[in-house]
Amino acid sequence: MSQISASWGIHFDQSELLCREGCGYYGNPAWQGYCSKCWREQNRKQQQQNRPHELHPKTGTSQNSADGCAGYIFAKFEEKKSSEKWRRANTMKKFFSSTKSLLKTDILPVFPLDPQTNPIPRTSDFTDFLKSLRKPATQFVQKHCISFIETIQSKKGIPVQEQSDLVQDFYQSMTSHFQNYPTEESDRMMDNIEKMVMTQLYKSVFCPDNSQDEQKDLSIQRHIRSLHWVTPEMLHAPINEGKAEVRDDIFFAVTAMIEMDSKRAPQDKLSCVTKGSNFLFKAIQGSTQEPATADDFLSSLIYAVLKANPPRLQSNLQYITRFCYPKRLMTGEAGYCFTNLCCAVAFIEKLDASALSLSREEFDQHMQGQRLQVRRIPLCLLKSDWPGLQQIQQNQKLLVELRARQDTVIRGVQNMQQELKDWPQSIGKEVQEIMNRFPLHIPLPKVQLPLAGIVRPSEN
């Protein structure tokens, strides 16, 4: 989605944040670039295409089946078997359960309300909202919510995507109650309903056992930990951590992202994302003295995520995506910040050498810990401005410089050793070439001279 430039950093078009269907709402990488509304419509179309032929209402057989008699007999057998199984299950429940039904699958009928006869509380405080549910005008909300909570809790073991579809359908049905109300009042009511429902269902739907969320959490956590050496300069993020106010804003942004895991309601987790993003905007403006651009914000958000390494990051993103009131993710400040966060996580998962303007060799050395980097002092300690900590930071920089000089000396010694090893061979080669060019030739004498000490036989 994004492009990398060695001189300007991360670039992306604002239109890439919007739904690929062209509806004007924010898309999401988890929905393949669609908004929540278009994504659900795409899923429904696909399910209808993959769904087998519908059964005839009377015979229970496929309308396109060639063997109608066999299908009818099999359908009657399955109907009898299911009826017998249901009867036995209900017989056991009469012995071991109370008179109250354990499985509530029927949601109360939906009907639009009149704002004049059924006013809703104007407060945004969640405690006041719970108190208002005791009034007759809003008791129907409590009945709907309790019925739906019991329905979801009774359906244990179903896939998490089906749970998400049930929750989104519930939001849509509840929104129909307040279609005659002003938008602000309707949105406030739906926020409170979402918080009430999802706080109760949190343990049932967050990071379920039948999903891959936990494995993805461990994978992204290890990957981010291995990228601890990445600096704002490598990401071309306009963050000047030399300023105390910028360090404070980065610290608060990191804290907000870590705090996201402690919240239960999707809107509270989303508020942590928005809060951290606002601190990043302040940090960018404090560093450049100019308003932050979209490119600056995304690169700074990537750096903040690497610095925070939020716990259960993928589980929290998936939880917000699946169970948040869709209007929050499709529009507004919260939707913009969350879409950028998903893009930042997707960027980190595919981070490579070209994204950081490094060669492949340099990137591998950083990942393997062969390149020594200055370990930054935690922001919580830098806030104290202790002279000792500043001295430690300076000593670390000196150690890095000494390590670089030592590496240079070691490379020089290795080159000299290699030259000394090659020198005898080069000298021998030159001597041999000279001897081949100028061979040594000693001529023999014409008169053979007697050798000293040898007596000729004739002289005796």
Average the pLDDT over each of 2-11, 20-29, 139-148 and give the range with the smallest value.
2-11
Strands 9-11 and 3-5: antiparallel
Positive or negative: CA dihedral 250, 251, 257, 260? negative
pLDDT of the residue at 457: 56
User: Which of 65-69, 129-133, 317-321, 365-369 is predicted least confidently?
Assistant: 65-69
Reduce the DSSP state of residue 333 to 3 states and report it.
helix
294 and 301 in contact (C-beta within 8 Å)?
no
Specify the pLDDT at position 77.
46
More confident residue, 154 or 60: 154
Closest CA to 400 of 376, 433, 422: 376
pLDDT at 326 over 60: yes
- Lowest model confidence (mean pLDDT) among 20-24, 253-257, 304-308, 357-361: 20-24
% of the chain at pLDDT higher than 70: 68
Q: Which of 56, 51, 25, 55 is nearest to 39 (CA)?
A: 25
In this structure, are residues 258 and 221 in contact, taking their beta carbons and an 8 Å threshold?
Answer: no
| Mean pLDDT score, 351-357 | 87
- How is residue 55 written in tokens? 């059964």
CA proximity to 235, closest of 202, 274, 189, 284: 284
What is the per-residue pLDDT for 62? 44
58-75: average pLDDT: 44
Residues 6 or more apart whose Cβ sits within 8 Å of residue 397: 374
Which residue bears the tokens 């004007």? Answer: 24
Q: For the packed helices 294-308 and 244-259, what is the interaxial angle rounded to 10 degrees?
A: 70
Q: Lowest mean pLDDT of 108-117, 171-180, 290-299, name the range.
A: 108-117
Greatest alpha-carbon span in the chain: 162
What is the model's pLDDT at position 374?
47
Please check the confidence at residue 359 and state whether its pLDDT lies above 80. Answer: yes
17 compared with 419, residue with greater pLDDT = 419
For the cut 60, the answer to whether the pLDDT of residue 189 exceeds it is: yes
Most confident of 75-79, 81-85, 112-116, 450-454: 112-116
Could you tell me the CA-to-CA distances from 85 to 55, 71, 74, 104, 155 in Å, in that order? 21, 21, 16, 19, 18
| Type of residue found at 221 | Q
Token reading at 457: 């036989």
Length of the chain: 460
How many helices and strands in the chain, by DSSP H and E? 17, 2
Q: Give per-residue pLDDT as tens, 293-309.
A: 888 999 999 999 999 99
Mean residue pLDDT across the chain: 77
| pLDDT in the model for residue 440 | 74
* pLDDT tens-digit readout, 237-269: 999 888 889 999 999 999 999 999 999 999 999
Give the confidence band of 115 by pLDDT, cuts at 50, 70, 90.
Answer: low
Phi, psi of 387 (to 5 degrees): -60, -35
Dig out the tokens for 60 from the structure.
């229970």
Q: Residue 58 pLDDT > 50, yes or no?
A: no
Residue 155's pLDDT is 84
Picking from 42, 337, 322, the residue whose alpha carbon sits closest to that of residue 171 is: 322
Residues with Cβ within 8 Å of 309's Cβ and at least 6 positions away in sequence, in order, are 221, 224, 225
Yes or no: say if 260 and 269 are a contact pair by the CB < 8 Å rule: yes
